[in-house]
Amino acid sequence: MPNTVLITGSSTGIGKETALYFYKKGWNVVATMRNPDKRKTELHETKMDIVHLDVLEINSIKKAIRYTLDKFGKIDVFVNNAGYAVRGAFELSTREQIEKQYNTNVLGLMDAVREIIPIFRKQKHGIIINVASIGGRITVPFYSIYNSTKWAIEGFSEGLHYELKPFNIKVKIIEPGLIKTDFYDRSMVNIQNEEIDVYNKYFEKSLKKTMAMEPSASHPSLIAKIIYKAATDNRGKLRYSKGKNSWLVLFLRKILPDTLFFKIIKAST
């Protein structure tokens, strides 16, 4: 019997490529998205199941899980991929922007995990794959809110992996580097405040430097492959980092004292 995977945020980018990759490997794929009827994607050209799931609506998470179990009898892997970033100076942000960012990236992910654990426990197996970011291990200016959500996913997943091990449930963290998706365009929420301009110069300089890195961004299929590896390698490994120069950045983070590492980040962002 083929394995079954359920993926959140499959309309574009990493989620879409992951759905396609598992599908081509012969898995039962339930690709979920906020607007499955409005947004026509490559996935709609296949026979895979496309189901509504908004991580801000817990009922839609329950329904998508129920749909998958009714159709395929089990879920082997649950990929928490849905997410976006709020970008800009923290001082200028609003509570609403932060709440939505946390509700989506952290609490929505936790809601999904809380729903899937009892299923995996009854099955006596299952793999939870949480998409964090290299920005969950390091930080860059003007992404403090987003970075903090990804650091939260890192801490949550690491703690959870101990708790679930006795039930043969694995937790995996995916840490993409710079990936070419809708993330930096339509999915990005820019913090704006016309009255305070003290951050403008630094923000624009930093943005320019980040944009200059764009050509080196990797295709999302790179992350789809690493998610597949995490789902199938049969290892207890927790973290999977991938993206151009990600290994170097994480290596430097590990070996350098904070002061030196921060200088490098400051010079390149």
Ligand X SMILES: NC(=O)c1ccc[n+]([C@@H]2O[C@H](COP(=O)([O-])OP(=O)(O)OC[C@H]3O[C@@H](n4cnc5c(N)ncnc54)[C@H](OP(=O)(O)O)[C@@H]3O)[C@@H](O)[C@H]2O)c1
Query: Smallest distance, Å, CB 167 to ligand X?
Result: 26
> Residue 241 is inside which H or E element, if any?
strand 239-242
- Secondary structure class of 2 (helix, strand, coil): coil
Pick between residue 94 and residue 193 the one whose CB is nearest to ligand X. 94
**Binding letters toward ligand X, positions 72-111, x by CB under 6 A:** ---------xxxx-------------------x---x---
Cα–Cα dist 231/228, whole Å: 5
Cα–Cα dist 179/4, whole Å: 26
**Binding letters toward ligand X, positions 197-236, x by CB under 6 A:** -----------------------x----------------
- Interactions with ligand X, residue window 176-195 (CB under 6 A): 176, 178-179, 181-183, 187
Q: Does 9 bind ligand X (CB under 6 A)?
A: yes
| Count of all residues that appear for the chain in the document | 269
Pick between residue 212 and residue 260 the one whose CB is nearest to ligand X. 212
Cα–Cα dist 141/80, whole Å: 25
Cα–Cα dist 202/42, whole Å: 39
Backbone region of residue 245 per phi and psi (left: phi > 0; alpha: psi in -120 to 50; beta: other values): left
Question: Which range in 69-77, 171-179, 208-216, 230-238 contacts ligand X by CB under 6 A?
Answer: 171-179
Of 12, 28, 101, 210, which lies in the binding site for ligand X, with binding defined by CB under 6 A? Answer: 12
Q: Which residue is nearest to ligand X (CB)?
A: 13
Q: Is 146 a catalytic residue?
A: yes
**Distance of CA 16 to CAs 19, 51, 215, Å?**
5, 13, 21
CB of 79 within 8 A of CB of 9? no
CB of 41 within 8 A of CB of 16? yes
Question: Which range in 21-29, 31-39, 71-79, 261-269 contacts ligand X by CB under 6 A?
Answer: 31-39
Q: Is 67 a catalytic residue?
A: no
Residues that bind ligand X (CB under 6 A): 8-9, 11-15, 33-35, 39, 53-56, 81-84, 104, 108, 131, 133, 176, 178-179, 181-183, 187, 220
